[in-house]
Amino acid sequence: MKGALPEIKAQDLKNAQDAWDFLYVILGKYFEMMQKDEKIKEEFSDAQITLVAYRHFDDQVCNGGFLQLVQNGLGGIIYDKTFSQTIKSWGAGETAAIAEEAGTICAKHKEKLDRLTMLQQEFSAAASEVYHNDKKAYEKLEARHHEEVSKFYDDFEDFEPLEDRYYEIMEREVEKVKAYVEKNISEFAVVT
């Protein structure tokens, strides 16, 4: 095990209202650590990395779907089987199956989905150049980007059945992840 375990008060975990609150007590510490030191993630264990990836997976799929996950450069979560294998070993087999199916869709449409990621990267780079200097140019750039991405989202519906399935199972699956983390807390944090 690598050595970047945050200290967490037992009472903070006990006070958690639900599974995500419990996980966010831990994840909040991880994000604080990453803000202070970008390289700290290199010291995270596989379990810690998977927990962070699970948070990104859930957040992206619930807020914009698998296309948003890919667009924001987080497609590695579903391209790499490590996430699905680990999350399955934690008891979240339905999430793992959905992630693997999404990975298959990504592989099938890799060139097209890489274009979506590239669109986002190009927009981010161009936007940072003009945002402070030329608000009108930024607004035009943003409108064009939104139009291109919206068309992409309208034309690509392959992920929709998986997203619908995920919405149906996500509450019970997060309970399974929480149960694993709680049972194996020493993999994730030092509880004081």
Residue whose C-alpha is closest to residue 17's, from 168, 188, 166, 174: 174
The kind and range of the H/E element at 186 are none
pLDDT at residue 102, rounded to an integer: 95
Structure tokens at 183: 């049972």
Cβ-based neighbours of 186, under 8 Å, separated by 6 or more: 5
List per-residue pLDDT tens for the chain, 192 residues long.
Answer: 456 899 999 999 999 999 999 999 999 999 999 999 989 989 999 999 999 999 999 999 999 999 999 999 898 888 888 999 999 999 999 999 999 999 999 999 999 999 998 988 888 888 877 777 788 888 888 898 889 999 888 889 999 999 999 999 999 999 999 999 999 999 999 999
Which of 65-75 are b and which e, b meaning 16 or more Cβ less than 10 Å from the residue's Cβ?
Answer: bbbbbbbbebb
pLDDT at residue 53, rounded to an integer: 96
pLDDT at residue 2, rounded to an integer: 52
Helix or strand or coil: residue 8? strand
CB 2 within 8 A of CB 45: yes
Residue with tokens 């619908």: 164
pLDDT at residue 1, rounded to an integer: 42
